[in-house]
Structure 1
Amino acid sequence: VVAPPAAEPVDPSWRLAEEQKERGNRRYAIKSYGEANLCYHKAIGELKKHPAFGTLTPEGRALNSKAASYHANSAAALMQLGKMSEAVAECDAALAADRRLGKALLRVAHVQLMLGDTDEARRYYVEAASVGHVTESEAGLKACADDEQQAARLHAELIMCRRAAASTVGSASSSAQLKGLVNALESACNRGPHNIALRSLQAEALSSSGRMTEAHALCEAQLATPPAHRGHTAVWLYSLGRVLYDSSLLPEAAEKLNEALQRPHAPPGAKPLARLVQRLEAERSEGNNAFKRSEWTKAIEAYTRALAVDPTHARFNSLLYCNRGAAHAKNESYQQALADCSAAIALNRSYAKAYLRRGELRAKCGDRTRATEDFGAAQRLDASGPVGQEAAKRMSDMRKESAREAAAAAAAAAAGGGNFAA
């Protein structure tokens, strides 16, 4: 009897790969995401040992589809670890292995939604629906719409806060509104820590509320992280430019905004803000140069034009009012100078230089009582700085002058009294 030919040994790659995948799933279930990710990559490694891997044969295509599934699992584990740039890379690998695998398409969509890129997420949800994952895709599309509505609402509130701050900085209503917005964004970012749209709004809200150091640190930290979002670098360069603009650092803001515009996927607000910065800096510089040339009227005109560029920029407009007030004072228009200094203080109640200049004007106009109040405010706001020291000197000089005048008046009174007695 002729023995039948021995069956060819079945390649163990499939079985070993599935064992590693199942081991990874068990690790994932107990939240050991790092170990789960290692298992998924071991599973991919086992598949690559199969002789048909990477070929166009039916078995090769099946291996590719299985690899895509493992890459999608790896992306899920990396998302849980907060390693979003690596998760995006795994999603790309999954789609490269099998573009029509619904699981991979859904995973890519979820990653993009977490990153706040609803346009990309929507595109992948629609594609996933086309290969049969309708229910999950519909839920994802609704989540995209909800995220967009939330971001739009918070952005509109930020614009309202900026407008309110331009006329009521320091008031209880404006401060409370900004504080509420910052708190709302903090809560939203805690729920979606990788959402770039919300994070960038948070940076802008912090700067609008005067928390410049925190806003700047947030932007720098995000720029230092590996980019996961397709427009990551451009968005954060724009946000940093916005923070620098809010800080009245116009040349630095222009530099970052121009960098953002040179990157792909620059935010739509980058170009108009860059133009605004350019116009504002040009008018401010023209006013400063005219002031240096002692051309007071031209300086006043330039500062007036600058004030019309961005009425919502309370901090910078405070500086412009103070500068225009100085030009009015040089032009001996003291009442207009006083009005401008008061406008500067109304927009920024922590602006020590405006208090100093108004104190000088009030002293010149003979209102020493209120001049003393302004010098005291300048001292408190800039205790160890040059403005505070100048305010202390002016107050000391004014007191000495008052003492001399009082002594002279007393001497005159005494002399007058003596003549009367004689």
Structure 2
Amino acid sequence: MAAAAECDVVMATTEPELLDEEAKREAESFKEQGNAYYAKKDYNEAYNYYTKAIDMCPKNASYYGNRAATLMMLGRFREALGDAQQSVRLDDGFVRGHLREGKCHLSLGNAMAACRSFQRALELDHKNSQAQQEFKNASAVMEYEKIADSDFEKRDFRKVVFCMDRALEFAPACHRFKILKAECLAMLGRYPEAQSVASDILRLDSTNADALYVRGLCLYYEDCIEKAVQFFLQALRMAPDHEKACAACRNAKALKAKKEDGNKAFKDGDFRLAHALYTEALAIDPSNIKTNAKLYCNRGTVNAKLRELDEAIADCTRAVTLDHSYVKAYLRRAQCYMDTEQYEEAVRDYEKVYQTEKTKEHKQLLKNAQLELKKSKRKDYYKILGVDKNASEDEIKRAYRKRALMHHPDRHSGASAEVQKEEEKKFKEVGEAFTILSDPKKKMRYDSGQDLDEEGMNTGDFDANNIFKAFFGGPGGFSFEASGPGNFFFQFG
């Protein structure tokens, strides 16, 4: 019994030492296997073996350092940071540990903490080229942050995107930089890119309030206001004090309500009220380009209804300035141009519409505008005679009688040469207009915009005197005689 007791004592004192050595050998074996998998770029297996090594020897700094390196290769920088920090807690002289800690801080966007880690590595090894380069990289990121903050305040969003792209080259896992970039992309109207960045973050962290806000912002600027409000509210549930989401949500709700009130007033026929409501809506958020383009177009439609066509054209111009692809605004403006007989401008707008949407309807609208433009470049025979386009045959005859007598050269024989020349020109135009408008076939061709020079209808062949004689009749000539100062009468010879 006594011998057994001694053996137990001996066993009790020597077994832990044997087990420690055994554990160290096994841990080292796990580390070597991890190294082999790491060399083959099988980082998941490498991670598993480094974890086994740590479990066997939890106070070995190099094991944590190796697992940190593996996690970095897997893009799991936050976990890697924990291992790197543990490695330098266990061994403050572990240069690689400080380098990995700094690299993790930098990748996550904490450039100041990264600088401290790289400085510590340089204190331990002042010639370490990697530490020198990484310190420069971290300093550059801090400078990009500083510039970006300043440019964001100036609303120079393109420059902010540039700075964030440069910073993300060194800090690929920094959500803060990505969110700032995405927000600026949204402000620049590059919504698919902004949505992509925000969605990538939400796949990793569905509760990220900043990413939810950016998703909402994109929808808001794309005039999907109801959906945008849902994302803003979700962001506020995750972060009740999120100032940007709160302000955007408030603007979105106000814009939606005011726009709907304007639409209702328009449908009810209260155009003055609709105009006022659309104007109030436009003042809510000048940065919401797409919604404001629609509001300007809506107000332009109201102005058209009120027959304030110049104002309607101005509003439609504002709409297409904000949104160059806004077909409805081009169509509204083109119609206003047609109504004000600005046919060249109408043709230009209809051409833009047809290039965008090649429909039969748009093609016909373009053809109509082109025809009116062509007609507008000819002599306006109705205007020359002073009659409406729907004038009857008798109205056309009466108008010719009046104008022919008014402009007959004999009536102005005592006037200056310049006046005589002008009146002779008008006399000829009156005869030409009567010849065309009094002939049903010629009038039809003229009204339809066809060329009158076809089928022997050359407008240059008219003899105004013959037309005058034929109209007034009589066997001989015609002359004006004065019966007193400023008074004339005519007689046939």
TM-score (norm 2): 0.61
From 10, 14, 21, give the equivalent of 2:18: 10
Q: Structure 2 vs 1, CA of residues 105 and 378 (structure 1 numbering), >3 Å: closer, same or farther?
A: same
**Higher mean C-alpha deviation, range 279-288 or range 393-402:** 393-402
| 1:328/1:337 contact within 8 Å kept | yes
- Give secondary structure in 2 for the equivalent of 1:262: helix
Between the aligned partners of 2:264 and 2:122, the Cα distance in structure 1 is 65
Between the aligned partners of 1:272 and 1:143, the Cα distance in structure 2 is 36
- The reply on whether 1:216 has 2:195 as its aligned counterpart is yes
| 2:34/2:46 contact within 8 Å kept | yes
| 2:179/2:210 contact within 8 Å kept | yes
Between the aligned partners of 1:327 and 1:152, the Cα distance in structure 2 is 47
| 1:71/1:91 contact within 8 Å kept | no
Structure 1 residue 371: deviation in Å? 0.9
| 1:260/1:266 contact within 8 Å kept | no
Between the aligned partners of 1:188 and 1:142, the Cα distance in structure 2 is 12
Q: Structure 2 vs 1, CA of residues 213 and 125 (structure 1 numbering), >3 Å: closer, same or farther?
A: closer
| 2:64/2:87 contact within 8 Å kept | no
Structure 1 residue 363: deviation in Å? 0.8
Structure 2: which amino acid aligns with 1:247? E
| 2:102/2:115 contact within 8 Å kept | yes
| 1:72/1:91 contact within 8 Å kept | no
From 336, 344, 367, give the equivalent of 1:396: 367
**Alignment correspondent of 1:234:** 209
Between the aligned partners of 1:421 and 1:273, the Cα distance in structure 2 is 79
**Alignment correspondent of 1:251:** 226
Q: Structure 2 vs 1, CA of residues 106 and 240 (structure 1 numbering), >3 Å: closer, same or farther?
A: farther
Structure 1 residue 362: deviation in Å? 0.9
- Give secondary structure in 2 for the equivalent of 1:395: helix
Structure 1 residue 158: deviation in Å? 5.0
Aligned-residue RMSD, C-alpha? 4.3
Structure 1: which amino acid aligns with 2:436? A
- The reply on whether 1:309 has 2:299 as its aligned counterpart is no
| 1:234/1:264 contact within 8 Å kept | yes
Between the aligned partners of 2:255 and 2:228, the Cα distance in structure 1 is 12
Structure 1 residue 194: deviation in Å? 1.6
Q: Deviations over 1:274-296 (max 9, x none)?
A: 22222222222222222222221
| 1:356/1:375 contact within 8 Å kept | yes
From 277, 296, 318, give the equivalent of 1:343: 318
Structure 2: which amino acid aligns with 1:396? K
Structure 1 residue 391: deviation in Å? 3.8
Structure 2, unpaired ranges of 5+: 125-130, 383-431, 439-461, 471-493
Between the aligned partners of 1:74 and 1:232, the Cα distance in structure 2 is 28
Structure 1: which amino acid aligns with 2:364? K
Between the aligned partners of 2:241 and 2:70, the Cα distance in structure 1 is 30
- The reply on whether 1:88 has 2:67 as its aligned counterpart is no
Between the aligned partners of 1:152 and 1:312, the Cα distance in structure 2 is 25
Number of residue pairs matched by the alignment: 370
Structure 2: which amino acid aligns with 1:76? A
**Alignment correspondent of 2:54:** 44
| 2:210/2:235 contact within 8 Å kept | yes
Between the aligned partners of 1:270 and 1:399, the Cα distance in structure 2 is 50
| 1:283/1:305 contact within 8 Å kept | yes
Structure 2: which amino acid aligns with 1:43? A
Between the aligned partners of 2:163 and 2:211, the Cα distance in structure 1 is 20
Rg: which structure is higher?
A: 2
**Higher mean C-alpha deviation, range 411-420 or range 9-18:** 411-420
From 306, 323, 327, give the equivalent of 1:331: 306
Structure 1 residue 74: deviation in Å? 2.2
Between the aligned partners of 1:289 and 1:109, the Cα distance in structure 2 is 60
Q: Deviations over 1:80-100 (max 9, x none)?
A: 222x2xx434656888x9996
- The reply on whether 1:420 has 2:468 as its aligned counterpart is yes
**Alignment correspondent of 1:201:** 180
Between the aligned partners of 2:181 and 2:362, the Cα distance in structure 1 is 37
From 114, 126, 130, give the equivalent of 2:107: 114
| 2:31/2:63 contact within 8 Å kept | yes
Structure 1 residue 27: deviation in Å? 6.2
- The reply on whether 1:271 has 2:271 as its aligned counterpart is no
**Higher mean C-alpha deviation, range 138-147 or range 200-209:** 138-147
Q: Structure 2 vs 1, CA of residues 360 and 79 (structure 1 numbering), >3 Å: closer, same or farther?
A: same
Structure 1: which amino acid aligns with 2:328? K
Structure 1 residue 402: deviation in Å? 6.2
Q: Deviations over 1:218-266 (max 9, x none)?
A: 3223322x33xxx962222112112222222211211112111111597
Between the aligned partners of 1:214 and 1:240, the Cα distance in structure 2 is 11
**Alignment correspondent of 2:167:** 188
Q: Deviations over 1:193-237 (max 9, x none)?
A: 22212222332333344432233233223322x33xxx9622221
Q: Structure 2 vs 1, CA of residues 398 and 125 (structure 1 numbering), >3 Å: closer, same or farther?
A: closer
Structure 1 residue 191: deviation in Å? 3.5
Between the aligned partners of 1:181 and 1:25, the Cα distance in structure 2 is 41
Q: Deviations over 1:44-70 (max 9, x none)?
A: 3434xxxxxxxxxxxxxxx4x44x874
Structure 2: which amino acid aligns with 1:88? R
- Give secondary structure in 2 for the equivalent of 1:269: helix
Structure 1 residue 30: deviation in Å? 8.3
| 2:381/2:437 contact within 8 Å kept | no
| 2:84/2:100 contact within 8 Å kept | no
| 1:234/1:266 contact within 8 Å kept | no
Structure 1, unpaired ranges of 5+: 48-62, 163-176
From 64, 70, 81, give the equivalent of 1:77: 70
Q: Deviations over 1:156-210 (max 9, x none)?
A: 5356457xxxxxxxxxxxxxx84x6555544433333222122223323333444
Q: Which one has more relative contact order, counting CA pairs under 8 Å at least 6 apart?
A: 1
Between the aligned partners of 2:326 and 2:29, the Cα distance in structure 1 is 67
Q: Structure 2 vs 1, CA of residues 412 and 353 (structure 1 numbering), >3 Å: closer, same or farther?
A: farther
